[in-house]
Structure 1
Amino acid sequence: MSERMDARAELERLIGERGEDYAGLSRLIGRNAAYVQQYIKRGIPKRLAEADRRLLARYFEVPEERLGGPAPDPGREPDHVVVPRLDVGASAGHGALPGEERFRSSLAFDAGWLRRLGTGDVRLLSTIRVEGDSMIPTLADGDEIMVDRGDAAERLRDGIYVLRIDEALMVKRLAVNPSARTISISSDNAAYPGWPDCRLETIDVVGRVVWAGRRIG
């Protein structure tokens, strides 16, 4: 069996094991709904594009080599990291229900830049959109924020975090009082009330916001 056939067979096996569907994975990599099925069943295209292969390998948490990529060079770090964009909003207002936190696309970031940003395990990074105005002027409605899920409750310190409160996602500023083991939750927009002196164990911290991007104009 050829290398390309092995890659297609491996992808089909992963899809079956994880209970995924062809159309959903096609949308994940930004292709038409039939793309993955045509690749597996008809061999069109003959091989996955590098960006598509990288995103699928990350999604299934397998080495790219298993999907037809080159064997990893142990002495060379990747130049770029593909960070998934999740189809969910974190409310900077009254709370957004997360629903199914599925991929909608991805963004590629320079690996060295991410290290300088202070992120840990890049597999725990994702981006989501901000909804609402309670974090203005720091964050605005529609901003894209990168959330480091590896930098959550165990490393909690003052900063901006995504929280899950009553099954809703919210982005808020936290101030930690370590001696009292309490957290004050606030908005940067003074028109919104805060919650002072919340007990640590009552807060579900999803991750720390480490980067934000927005459209200008």
Structure 2
Amino acid sequence: MIKSDRVAERMRELGMSQSALAREVGVTQQTIGKVVTGQSANSSHLHKIARVLQTSPAYLTGEIDDPREDAFIPPTPAEIAAQMGLVKVEEIDLSIGMGLGFLDENVMERVDRWIPEDWVRNFTHSAVAHLSIVKPQGDSMYPTINDRDIVMIDRSQQIIDRQEGIWALNYGGLGTIKRVRVLPDGKYKLMADNPQVPPEVAADGEVSVIGRVAGVFRRT
């Protein structure tokens, strides 16, 4: 968004009137007037206005504080990440357990994490917007998933179509990660990889799928 005060400041420094700026940019004085008064903060003429005012678009939009035309513009986090081969994946604190943990999507925390795209693509080709990472707690999925490993969940897959695949689930208001087998009567057998943890059987309607576990990053 254009900072109207910066446009007005540059006009004063250059001794330029609204009509003169409008003439140089090739628009009406009313158009420039709206920019200067803050009524038009998204002008399509930003680059022309910046050039005439001998500054940069980044200065007029408040991205940098140096008004020089050749001022250094630092790369954005997204640009740096792209150069490093990273993608942004949302980390969700669902308090998912291996056992069970309390699950309340209204209070769960979300934090953006930058992780290597190559690592993501080892497990899934789903759009990054459909992926989340979580740090589950407990030992019921040991040795496949250890306590506090980083687990990637593909939220685009919410229909259990892989017998004994590993899924992140909402089970009776609780978050859990389990292997799932669909039984002939439509119920779900929730199985732990830890042989000391007995399986549970859940009726259809007691379980909703958060997503498929697409990958595990082992924490050492």
Q: Could you say what secondary structure the match of 1:150 adopts? A: coil
> What's the % identity of the aligned pairs?
25
Going from structure 1 to structure 2, the CA distance change for 1:182 and 1:214 (only over 3 Å counts) comes to same
Provide Cα deviations, 1:130-188, integer angstroms capped at 9, x if missing partner: 111111111111111000000112645431111112322111111123x5333211111
1:18-56: CA deviation from partner (whole Å, max 9, x where unpaired): xxxxxxxxxxxxxxxxxxxxx69x79xx8564335789x
Equivalent position of 1:4 in the other structure: 58
Q: Shift of the alpha carbon at 1:213? A: 1.3
Unmatched tracts of structure 2, length 5 or more: 1-45, 47-55, 67-71
How many residues of Structure 1 are paired with residues of Structure 2 in the alignment? Answer: 159
**Corresponding residue for residue 202 of structure 1:** 206
TM-score (norm 1): 0.59
Distance, in Å, in 2 between the alignment partners of 1:170 and 1:7 is: 46
Structure 1 residues 5 and 207: alpha-carbon distance in aligned structure 2, compared to 1, 3 A threshold = farther
Given the two structures, how large is their TM-score scaled by the length of structure 2? 0.59
Give how far 1:104 is off. 2.9
SS of the equivalent of 2:175 reads strand
* 2:110 is the alignment partner of 1:110: no
* Matched position secondary structure for 1:123: helix
Q: How does 1:79-158 map to 2 (within 5 A)?
A: 79-98=85-104, 100-110=107-117, 114-153=120-159, 155=161, 157-158=163-164
2:77 aligned residue (33, 41, 51): 51
User: Which of the two has higher C-alpha Rg?
Assistant: 2
CA–CA distance in structure 2, aligned partners of residues 150 and 107 of structure 1: 20
Q: What SS class does the counterpart of residue 130 from structure 1 fall into?
A: coil
- The structure that is helix-richer by fraction is 1
SS at match of 2:111: strand
Q: What's 1:211 paired with?
A: 215
SS in 2 for 1:204: strand
Amino acid at match of 1:107: W
In 1, the alpha carbon distance for the partners of 2:194 and 2:87 equals 33
1:208 shift after superposition: 0.7
CA–CA distance in 2 between the matches of 1:158 and 1:91? 18
